[in-house]
Each structure stands twice: as structure tokens, then as C-alpha cells.
Amino acid sequence: MDMTVEAQEGRFIDRFRPYGFQKGGILFFTADIAVGVIDEAEKANIPVLGVDAFTVRLNSTQPHMEHSNDVSSLDAGWNEARELIASKKHLGLVFEIVLKK
């Protein structure tokens, strides 16, 4: 049975769900885990469209647009996404990885 691209992608990201946490419908990852997700997306040839950075607290979720990046105009965005996360790791942020559907 053939799976749709969306189903394949959902199955891909579901592999990493135990390593992140979900709040408000968004799956967040620490910097190290986010880089691992990007590495695996590259191996699976799934392009990264963007990386969004957040501070998540018990009662609030604060996006940080100045620490986020849209890489959808690039071929696949893997290297740029990894570089962004590495440059922000010291800030203690968590990341949402947006993959191409």
C-alpha cells in the first residue's frame, strides 16, 4: 500500500516524538535533538523549510522570531537549519522544525 507524502512525513516526525515535548499542538526539541532530527531528515531527503525558536514555560510559550529562520528558498535547508540552531544553543531555547510536506 502506498502512503501519501503527508503520511510519510507524519510517520517520520513521529519517530522523534519521544525525544521532544508537545505544547499547544507544537512539537518542541532541545537544540541537540533538533540537530539530530535535521540530520535524519537529510538522510531521508526531506527538506527543512524553517526553524522556529521558542521559550516555553509552564504557563506560556514565547516565540522568538529574531532567532527563527525561513530556509524554504534554499535547496533543502539542512545546513542552514543546523547552523542556526548551533548559534542559538547557548540561549536555552527550544525549536520547532518545519519540514516540507
- Summarize pLDDT for 36-54 with one digit per residue, the tens: 999 999 999 999 989 999 9
Residue whose C-alpha is closest to residue 31's, from 22, 42, 20, 40: 20
Asked, for residue 2, whether it belongs to a domain, the answer is no
In this model, does residue 74 exceed pLDDT 80? Answer: no
Q: How wide is the angle at C-alpha 13 spanned by C-alphas 80 and 100, nearest 5°?
A: 50
Q: Is 30 helix (H, G, I), strand (E, B) or coil?
A: coil
CATH number for the domain including 60?
A: 3.30.190.30
Lowest average pLDDT, out of 13-22, 34-43, 51-60, 63-72, goes to 63-72
Asked, for residue 4, whether it belongs to a domain, the answer is no
Work out how many domains the chain is built from and give that number: 1
Range of the domain at 44: 20-99
What gap in Å lies between CA 35 and CA 88, rounded to an integer?
12
Asked, for residue 12, whether it belongs to a domain, the answer is no
Residues of 14-39 as b/e, b for ≥16 C-beta within 10 angstroms? eebeeebeeeeeebbbbbebbbebbe
